[in-house]
């Protein structure tokens, strides 16, 4: 079953084409990693999938819900508000810079949206939040404030906060790029444990070894197009396209 389908997606900023005819799907329980050089369109694609940017044309479908409605001129526009609200509840997004509420402690960060957006009872939200904090190894930090946590701890709280909304798909945008190398392992361990629990994830990452080991599918982008996609053992170990080979060889050299 495909939880997400992207078809013929296009996006431009003024005269600069950023995404060109992007198509792929994400199956339930799979991990899809999106890799590629800076400026390849990875972040714009993620922003389009999470409604932070509007596509110019093409389609994005969550289950049986279409994010966009086609227009007569070949473009597209957002679907109705009710549909978009339902789609937003399908996914969670973990940013590279944590984006925790600084004036709230860890527990309040986790229960704010479930209580006020989903209408979950506070006691139930707290119980589930404690389960999530145990999952990410932070059971002793529920009364701490973000400023009292390390970067790795803040990112683990951000992951727990996203999971608190019980999404079907979890998106990660460079989840380790704001961390010192020694803290990166904390986050990768959590993501790996989620993969083992069959959490559906889409990860934009520069961690090549991690993408290779944890992913069911790797998408290599360059110049706003998908150059190659498939099993990481094919795309990363035996790339067919010269652009993919050149990118991976530069990463290996570094």
**Which tens digit of pLDDT belongs to each residue from 210-241?**
999 999 999 999 999 999 999 999 999 999 99
**Which tens digit of pLDDT belongs to each residue from 79-135?**
999 999 999 999 999 988 888 999 999 999 999 999 999 999 999 999 999 999 999
Apex CA 247: angle with CA 242 and CA 252, to 5°? Answer: 120
Q: What is the pLDDT of residue 222?
A: 96
What's the pTM value of the predicted model, to 2 decimals? 0.93
Q: What is the pLDDT of residue 65?
A: 97
Q: What is the pLDDT of residue 85?
A: 95
Q: What is the pLDDT of residue 253?
A: 59
**Which tens digit of pLDDT belongs to each residue from 142-176?**
999 999 999 899 999 999 999 999 999 999 998 88
* Terminal-residue alpha carbon distance, the chain: 38
Q: What is the mean pLDDT of the chain?
A: 94
| Relative orientation angle of helices 122-135 and 151-163, to the nearest 10 degrees | 130
How many Cα atoms sit within 13 Å of 82 on the Cβ side?
Answer: 0
Alpha-carbon Rg for the chain in angstroms: 19
**Which tens digit of pLDDT belongs to each residue from 175-197?**
888 677 777 888 899 999 999 99
**Residue in 205, 225, 229 with CA at minimum distance from that of residue 216:** 229
**Which tens digit of pLDDT belongs to each residue from 31-60?**
999 999 999 999 999 999 999 999 999 999
CB contact at 8 A, 45 and 23: no
Q: What is the pLDDT of residue 182?
A: 73
């Amino acid at each position: 079953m495909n939880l997400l389908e992207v078809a013929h997606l296009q996006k431009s900023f003024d005269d600069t084409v950023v995404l060109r005819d992007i198509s792929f799907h994400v199956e339930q329980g799979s991990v899809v990693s999106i890799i590629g050089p800076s400026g390849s369109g990875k972040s714009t694609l993620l922003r389009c999938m999470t409604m932070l940017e509007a596509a110019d044309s093409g389609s994005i479908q969550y289950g049986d819900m279409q994010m966009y409605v086609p227009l007569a001129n070949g473009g597209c526009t957002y679907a109705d508000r009710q549909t978009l609200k339902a789609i937003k509840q399908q996914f969670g997004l973990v940013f590279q810079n944590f984006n925790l509420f600084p004036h709230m402690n860890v527990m309040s960060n986790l229960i704010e949206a479930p209580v006020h957006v989903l209408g979950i009872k506070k006691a139930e939200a707290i119980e589930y939040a404690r389960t999530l904090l145990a999952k990410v190894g932070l059971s002793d930090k529920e009364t701490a404030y973000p400023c009292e946590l390390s970067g790795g701890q803040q990112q683990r709280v951000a992951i727990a906060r996203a999971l608190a909304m019980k999404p079907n798909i979890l998106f990660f945008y460079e989840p380790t790029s704001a961390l010192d190398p020694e803290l990166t392992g904390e986050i990768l361990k959590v993501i790996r444990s989620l993969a083992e629990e069959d959490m559906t994830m889409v990860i934009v990452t520069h961690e090549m070894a991690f993408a290779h080991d944890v992913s069911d599918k790797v998408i290599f982008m360059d110049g706003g197009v998908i150059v190659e996609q498939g099993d990481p053992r094919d795309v990363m170990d035996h790339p067919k396209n010269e652009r993919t080979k050149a990118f991976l060889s530069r990463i290996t050299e570094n």
